Structure 1
Amino acid sequence: MEKNKYIDIFQDDGDFKWITGVEDTFVGQSKMGKRKLDEYELTQHYIFWQQDLDLVKETGFEMLRYGIPWYKVNPAPGEFDWSWTDKVLDYMTKKDIEPIIDLMHYGTPFWLENQFLNEDYPKYVAEYAAEFAARYDNIKYYTPLNEPFINAEYCGKRAFWPPYLEGDSGFVKLTNQIAKGIILTVNRIREVNPDSVMVHVDAMEKFFVDPDNYSKKAEEYVNWQNEIRFVNYDLISGRVNGDSKIYKFLAEHGFKDTDFDYFLNNRIDIDLMGLNYYPLVSVQKVGDINGEIESKQVWGGTERYKELIKDYYSRYQLPIMLTETSVDNGIENKIKWLDDSVTMIKELRAEDVPVLAYTWWPIIDMVHWDYMEAFDDVENYLLRNGIWKLEMQFDRTLKREHTPLVEHFKKVINKGI
């Protein structure tokens, strides 16, 4: 296979990038029993954005995954308000922080009826992307849509986010629309900025059979769960054909010949794979308990992390950025996870797996998504996976507090890979 040119994109600057991000889930819609979820609002980033960017720089990062709240900047069809993003992105330039723009992090504008199911969703999301790229023509790196698998799962299979579909058919409907939106987004950005680089980010997950509760049924379930995770990468790169299990699954749950033809005829090259992994939640042990398949999260560690990265590299032979990882189980464990995962990267690179970047997510604590379905105060849902800690003050402001992970991260970055 011809070497992907993006393996060398960082060669002139040390070959490896340290990245962080600000959690940027934007689900503005709400329904009975649910609250909206705008992480920038809940973590008060809209207020303290300048301080947060200062923390990024102080900790030693030179790149930042940074989300744009589509539902705010595009308040009506064809109308855009860049007043807030102008200030933030200008300050990033002054601080010499290179953004990887997260154009879509789950939510759609209020005016887009039926959200992702709207037949014009791909057109509208691509229009928004093109408008952004034209205005900020100095920005090079983009993520067209964050975690398409999770997006389709939560919106189409679990009915957790709008448009609240359930089951495999819902998952397939969302996957179809999301993947088409990604392709159109990439094409529209490239029309404006031919030199742009796309970091296609998705969530990794590994399933394995509990040997104490093995059955053929459990094994088949595990094999399928490990295969379907590739659906978005396969679709946008034109790899889904009639011989694959993914093809048969999509066809059984609503894909038409015209849909398959679309992805074959409009395939795009993937510049960089962005892979997300959380050792506390990204690995599932599966067992057959009295004929019922049961799955539970178990600690995955670097063993499963490394295994997954190799799986993706073996399948696609593309350069990799590790775009999200962290733990939230105490400062000592956070420091250990940073050290262990950096050691793993060194091992992978020694084995010629092109891992180009490492991202601790996020720079400040985030709010757990369970906040949507509750009614008590936001501080009860703070997820302690940030490098800097959020602490609620008497005046209801969230103070950014230093943790020992900050100084440890500086040492790791200075030492390099």
Structure 2
Amino acid sequence: MEPVEVWGGVECTIRRIGEGYSDQLASSGHRTRIEDLDLFAELGIRKLRYPILWEQVAPESLDNPDWTWTDERMARLRELGIDPIITLLHHGSGPRYTALHQDNFVPGLARFAGMVAERYPWITHYTPVNEPLTTARFSGLYGIWYPHGTDDQTFVRIQLNHIHGTKAAMKAIREVTPEAKLVQTEDLGKTHSTPNLEYQAEFENNRRWLTYDLLCGYLDEGHPMWEYLRHHGASEEELLDLVHEPCSPDILGINHYITSERFLDENHQYFEQHRRVHGGERPDYADVEAVRVRPIQLLGFHGLLKEAWERYQLPIAVTEVHLDCTREEQMRWVQYAWDAANKLKEEGIDMRAITIWSLLGAYDWNSLLTQEGAFYESGVFDLRGGKPRSTALFKMVKGLATEGSYHHPLLQAKGWWERDDRFRYHHHAPTSKTS
């Protein structure tokens, strides 16, 4: 059996906080280095998650787009034989003349999507909105990114705008390129908890599927999230519209990080203050990385991808594989994802690829992009010398992409997330549950 493919990706977030924007492509220097694409081609990858971002092309008006940068990049990718998976909005709020919660967001995104398709009709893979649920949480519920909402109503409106925007965007794209495929990305984790917080874990574990459930037309009156969405501003008509006319992804793009699995504990006194979540009418609790809690058993890539397959029966690609750690641990994380994806393929699941994310590294994700220029984590290439320098990941990724295997003594050891020295917290209740 052929192994899964290896794709690549470039961290390309344009995020807005207040009136200010930050741009990962400017931070990395990729905006002025078209030759980076040749380095990516040397890896042997044939698909690349890549940006044509609304904020970049039409910052002032959709009537006055600037295609200079994207024309050059798309032409070079075609020459190199790399198929782009185009992202139109990557954790962004759009240009200043719109925002995630505004009425003009959906028609604006759809119009922009149609413009991209008309200019590049040969492009066949799109992600109109990257990680809709994650962005809706950070922008509408936690107040971190623009429009800095901290309430359920703003969160729900942003999430539904994301989903309706994705559907409208794909409709506009397919009017030009009927065979265009939706590669819908979303972070996937799992929430574990003490028995007393099982209600909150159940809510989180239902909510994590919101992007895919809405797109696939699963969210009807019998869905666990129906009442929550209706209570916080969703109309029955707009929800049922997605049930009657879904926009199911052609590929589920699953992003998973070492912090994606969480553990909730009402005994918050055993944890750092910043881990504490105010429960409102219910007791406060701590929300921490499950990987650090003894004796929680993680589902990891294999368990979570299997859950996604059993729920949707749709082709799956892991669309972000990245770990901020030492070179050795970065290599082990890639191997961890690779092994899980290929094992699932052997088990009959339609696994397509793993995607090496942040080829050029990433900036400031340790603070969720709130402290610009404070932190850099490398990827397949390290930019700290001023230009891309290959790291130990280069040979590994190239081996997996071109030969389907890679061997190195470092890969014989387990990653830190599988070793006993990972534990920072001990779960004090007698039992725990995973809803």
**What range describes the TM-score normalised by the shorter chain of this pair?**
0.7 to 0.9
Is 1:72 the counterpart of 2:72? The answer is no
Tell whether 2:361 aligns with 1:365: yes
Match of 1:408 among 396, 414, 422: 396
Q: 1:208 aligns with which of 186, 192, 216?
A: 192
1:316 maps to 312
- Residue 376 of structure 2 is aligned with which of 371, 377, 382? 382
Q: Secondary structure at 1:80's aligned position in 2?
A: coil
CA shift for structure 1 position 73: 0.7
Secondary structure (helix, strand or coil) at the match of 1:391 reads coil
Change (3 A) 1:56 1:111: same
Mind listing any 5+ residue stretches in structure 1 that lack a counterpart?
1-10, 393-397
The equivalent position to 1:45 in structure 2, one of 30, 45, 56, is: 30
Q: What amino acid is the match of 2:243?
A: L
The aligned counterpart of 1:261 is: 240
Find 1:289's aligned residue among 247, 261, 267: 267
Which position in structure 1 is the counterpart of 2:118? Answer: 134
After superposition, the C-alpha distances for 1:35-80 in whole angstroms (9 at most, x for unaligned) are 52211111111111x2221121112211100011211211313322
List aligned pairs for 1:333-372, cutoff 5 A: 333-369=329-365, 370=367, 372=369
In structure 2, stretches of 5+ residues that fail to align are 269-282, 406-435
- In the alignment, the residues of structure 1 paired with residue 190 and residue 299 of structure 2 have an alpha-carbon distance, to the nearest angstrom, of 11
Which residue identity does 2:370 align to in structure 1? E
- Give the Å deviation of 1:295: 1.2
In the superposition, the TM-score normalised over structure 2's length comes to: 0.84
Q: For residues 345 and 110 of structure 1, do their structure 2 counterparts lie closer, same or farther at Cα, with a shift above 3 Å needed?
A: closer
For residues 105 and 46 of structure 1, the distance between their equivalents in structure 2, rounded to whole angstroms, comes to: 16
Kindly provide the amino acid, as one letter, of the partner of residue 291 in structure 2.
W
1:359-381 Cα shifts (integer Å, max 9, x gaps):
01111111124385336xx2x31
SS in 1 for 2:383: strand
Whether the 8 Å contact between 1:127 and 1:185 is mirrored in structure 2 is yes
Q: Secondary structure at the match of 1:117?
A: coil
Query: Matched residues in 1 for 2:287 and 2:91: separation?
Result: 25
The answer as to whether partners of 1:274 and 1:323 remain within 8 angstroms in 2 is yes
Instruction: Compare 268-277 and 294-303 and name the one that shifted more.
Output: 294-303
Deviation for aligned residue 1:292 = 2.9
> What is the CA deviation profile of residues 81-102 of structure 1, one whole-angstrom value per residue up to 9, with x for unaligned ones?
1111000110111111111111
Match of 2:203 in 1: 224
Equivalent of 1:275 in 254, 259, 263: 254
Match of 2:100, SS state, is helix
Q: Summarize the Cα distance change of 1:354–1:98 in structure 2 as closer, same or farther, 3 Å threshold.
A: same
Secondary structure in 2 matching 1:299: helix
Matches of 1:201 and 1:59 in 2, distance apart?
Answer: 23
Measured against aligned partners, the alpha-carbon deviations of 1:99-148 in whole angstroms (never above 9, x if no partner) come to 111111122443424x0122121101010000000110111111121100
The residue type paired with residue 14 of structure 2 is: F
Give, in angstroms, the shift of residue 26 of structure 1.
1.0
Letter of the 2:244 counterpart: N
Contact persistence 1:18–1:413 (CA under 8 A) = yes
Task: Write the letter of the residue equivalent to 1:409.
Answer: V
Letter in 2 for 1:288: E
Q: Taking structure 1 as reference, are residues 23 and 302 closer, same or farther at Cα in structure 2, changes over 3 Å only?
A: farther
Verify the 8 A CA contact 2:361 2:383 in the aligned structure 1: yes
Choose from 81, 84, 91 the match for 2:76.
91
Q: Does 1:122 align with 2:106?
A: yes
Query: Residues 76 and 111 of structure 1 are in contact (CA less than 8 Å); yes or no, is this contact kept in structure 2?
Result: no
Distance verdict in 2 for CA 1:163–1:330, change over 3 Å: same
**Deviation digits for residues 336-374 of structure 1 (CA, Å, limit 9, x no counterpart):** 122222111221112111111110111111112438533
Distance in 2 between residues matched to 1:268 and 1:61, nearest whole Å: 28
Which residue is 1:242 aligned to? 221
Equivalenced residue count is: 385
CA contact (8 A) 1:112 1:121 kept: no
Asked whether the 8 Å contact 2:220–2:240 carries over to 1, the reply is no
Match of 2:13 in 1: 25
- CA-atom RMSD, angstroms? 2.0
Q: CA deviation at 1:293?
A: 2.2
